[in-house]
Amino acid sequence: MRHFITIVLLILLPLCAKADNSQLYKQLDAALEKRAHYVEVKEKSLNDIKQGAKYVTSNEDKLKLYEQLANGYKAYEYDSAMTYVKKGLVLAQKSNNILYHKRFQLSQTSLLITRGFYAEAKNIMQKIEPKEEDPLDYQFQYYYTSNPQPIGFSGIL
């Protein structure tokens, strides 16, 4: 009898577990309708950073702002993100800031990977391998960039 009840419950279980995705679709549609608003908020935030950059004189602060702008654009506007990465690379080179130069190279690598330029990304990664004296956040960012896939999959680079 106990086996019979177990079998009946196992047969009926999928009927109870049936998902109703209509509510999720409604939430997704509502979020998509607000897309223009989200883009506007993001653009305003990035424009505020750009306006602030006009008044910054320190190279270190400019590098931080360029990094913020590159990170802000990387999710949805590749060209703008790459522009700020390249500006950061030039300024880091001019000011002899090795750590920021490496960080911008990592950002460049990440952008290249998203566009499918794996060979170029690999060449950059081989040049900027972290050393023990590098800060831990840089080491983490390096290894995260070099293996962006979940554990168990082979890395791109």
User: What's residue 15's pLDDT?
Assistant: 66
User: What's residue 153's pLDDT?
Assistant: 46
Could you tell me if residue 112 is inside a domain?
yes
For range 82-93, the mean pLDDT: 96
Task: Give the structural domain span for 86.
Answer: 53-148
Could you tell me if residue 109 is inside a domain?
yes
Could you tell me if residue 7 is inside a domain?
no
Could you tell me if residue 14 is inside a domain?
no
Could you tell me if residue 46 is inside a domain?
no
If we measure between CA atoms, which residue out of 7, 28, 5, 9 comes closest to residue 17? 9
Asked if 72 and 82 touch (Cβ cutoff 8 Å), the reply is: no
CA atoms within 13 A on the CB side of 140: 3
Could you tell me if residue 103 is inside a domain?
yes
- The C-alpha atoms of residue 8 and residue 122 are separated, in whole angstroms, by 56
Asked if 73 and 110 touch (Cβ cutoff 8 Å), the reply is: no
Structure tokens of 102? 């490496």
Asked if 126 and 138 touch (Cβ cutoff 8 Å), the reply is: no
Burial class (CB in 10 A: 0-12, 13-18, 19+), 128: buried
**Bigger pLDDT: 2 or 154?**
2
Could you tell me if residue 123 is inside a domain?
yes
User: How many domains is the chain partitioned into structurally?
Assistant: 1
Could you tell me if residue 10 is inside a domain?
no
Count of CB atoms within 10 A of residue 39's CB? 12
* Per-residue pLDDT reduced to its tens digit, 37-77: 988 998 999 999 888 888 888 999 999 999 999 999 998 88
Cα 21 to its chain centre, rounded Å, is 28
Q: Is the pLDDT of residue 133 over 70?
A: yes
Asked if 67 and 107 touch (Cβ cutoff 8 Å), the reply is: yes
Cα 27 to its chain centre, rounded Å, is 24
